[in-house]
Structure 1
Amino acid sequence: MLTITAINAFNDNYIWVLRQDSQQNVYVVDPGDANVVLDYLHKHQLTLAGILITHHHRDHTGGIAALAAHVEQTTGHTLAVYGPQSEAIQGINLPIDPKPSDTLTLPFIDAPVHILSVPGHTAGHIAYLVDGALFCGDTLFSAGCGRLFEGSPAQMWQSLSLLAALPDTTRVYCAHEYTLANLKFAQAVDTDNEALKAYVKRTNDLRAQNKATIPSTIELERAINPFLRPLAPTIVNSIKNQFCDQDLTKTDELTCFTLLRQWKDIF
């Protein structure tokens, strides 16, 4: 069985630890902070087998150098660092150029790791899908999606559509605890959504106990995430009210998604 554990970093980052059964060798996803990872490894007497990087932002990559140095000093081995080939990320020694059928076979992990190209937040952003768990970095958040720093709305919509087409039971391990903030926007644009109202209550309860809202699931996100359902009638009406000075006779998915993202940027 694959066990997935969160390490908290900075204000709201999650660094995910992947451990197969009782193996002592583990992988981490997007280690922006080396110190919290090293503390976790020491506390649980684990060995770092490799790093999986989704994109180049510093809060996801800042710990690579120190972790690689630690592994070399303690084991004499070169740490395996996977990440997108098209992004300039220092320390990656196993670059990935994602194609639709790409998979990785990782030592100490039984299931294949599928690589998904999900540009939008950054130009070369990738995601990892292993054993029903999706590590999507800053592309899909619970009740939200990433800002468009480098990619286009069309790219992000295509990436989100790819993720939304995954099986309902897929667990979504995004890289930030943004859920409460995202839900404020979701409630503003999707006022009649009963599933959303129930999720707001559940999320408030979890955060009141200082518990993570992640992982989510693809089934839940399709029900409550406005960025995955931009043509829902209530959402379309909200968009028309917000952008009443624009000609919105054309309300296709990409147009509505683009306007939602613009709205969220100033919300």
Structure 2
Amino acid sequence: RILRENKGLEIEGEKIEAFHTPGHTKDSLCFYTGNALISGDTLFNGTVGNCFSGDPDGFFKSVKMLMTFPDETVIYAGHDYVKASMMFAKTLEPDNKDIDIFLEKYDSGHVCSVLLDEKKVNPYLRFNDEKMTALLRKRRLQVETEEDRWNSLMSI
């Protein structure tokens, strides 16, 4: 059976929705069930994947779509890059106390996060945040549109 976006599948009575999230690769998928998002290499805890697809606009749309999930969604990423991504986030926002809290909650044996926390600490989800926009302006990067800010963040 072919897996189609928004059709999903059912395993032992549990419905799992599939979402096409091009960006990391052209055929990237994320899965949502209950309040859990299995984000693979699209969205990591504290960062996003590399854009191997060569389609940053598609990647932006994928990440923006994932941001519409409920704030209490638990994110299970494909890899654990928490420490490195939070070190990077701290270089951008040294006064962001939410990053410190995020790191305090980090457990390498159980790596997951909640979307609301990601929106507070993940630089790539903060493209509409005034502080992030000011930082991009200071670096003389493009900030006119959401896509500009996303691409500017991805270029850092």
What is the TM-score when the length of structure 2 is the normalising length? 0.90
Which residue does 1:195 correspond to in 2? 98
2:4 partner amino acid: D
1:259 partner amino acid: S
Residues in 2 aligned to 1:182 and 1:116: alpha-carbon distance in whole angstroms: 24
Residues in 1 aligned to 2:87 and 2:130: alpha-carbon distance in whole angstroms: 19
Which residue does 2:37 correspond to in 1? 134
**3-state SS, counterpart of residue 105 of structure 1:** strand
Instruction: Give per-residue Cα distances to partners, 1:136-187, cap 9 Å, x unaligned.
Output: 1100011100010014221111111111110112110101011111111111
Could you tell me whether the CA contact under 8 Å between 2:3 and 2:9 is conserved in 1?
A: no
Residues in 1 aligned to 2:49 and 2:18: alpha-carbon distance in whole angstroms: 19
**3-state SS, counterpart of residue 52 of structure 2:** coil
Residues in 2 aligned to 1:117 and 1:202: alpha-carbon distance in whole angstroms: 30
Change (3 A) 1:112 1:151: farther
Question: Quick check: 1:113 aligned with 2:28?
Answer: no
Which residue does 1:9 correspond to in 2? none
* CA RMSD between the two structures: 1.7
Instruction: Give per-residue Cα distances to partners, 1:104-140, cap 9 Å, x unaligned.
Output: 122x2x2211111110000011111112111111000
Q: Gaps (5+ residues) in structure 1? A: 1-93
Instruction: Give per-residue Cα distances to partners, 1:73-103, cap 9 Å, x unaligned.
Output: xxxxxxxxxxxxxxxxxxxxx43232xx322
Could you tell me whether the CA contact under 8 Å between 1:133 and 1:171 is conserved in 2?
A: yes
2:58 to 155, 164, 186: 155
**3-state SS, counterpart of residue 129 of structure 1:** strand
**3-state SS, counterpart of residue 167 of structure 1:** coil
Residues in 2 aligned to 1:151 and 1:171: alpha-carbon distance in whole angstroms: 28
Could you tell me whether the CA contact under 8 Å between 1:121 and 1:148 is conserved in 2?
A: yes
**3-state SS, counterpart of residue 168 of structure 1:** coil
With CA pairs under 8 Å and 6+ residues apart, which has the higher RCO, 1 or 2?
2
- 1:26-175 to 2 correspondences below 5 Å: 94-98=1-5, 101-106=6-11, 108=12, 110-175=13-78
1:224 to 121, 133, 143: 121
**Structure having the higher Rg:** 1
1:240 to 116, 137, 140: 137
Which residue does 2:82 correspond to in 1? 179
Instruction: Give per-residue Cα distances to partners, 1:24-77, cap 9 Å, x unaligned.
Output: xxxxxxxxxxxxxxxxxxxxxxxxxxxxxxxxxxxxxxxxxxxxxxxxxxxxxx
Could you tell me whether the CA contact under 8 Å between 1:189 and 1:234 is conserved in 2?
A: no
Q: Gaps (5+ residues) in structure 2? A: none
- Identity fraction in percent: 24
**3-state SS, counterpart of residue 96 of structure 1:** coil
Could you tell me whether the CA contact under 8 Å between 1:169 and 1:219 is conserved in 2?
A: yes
Question: Quick check: 1:258 aligned with 2:155?
Answer: no
Superposed displacement of residue 202, structure 1: 3.2
Residues in 1 aligned to 2:4 and 2:144: alpha-carbon distance in whole angstroms: 34
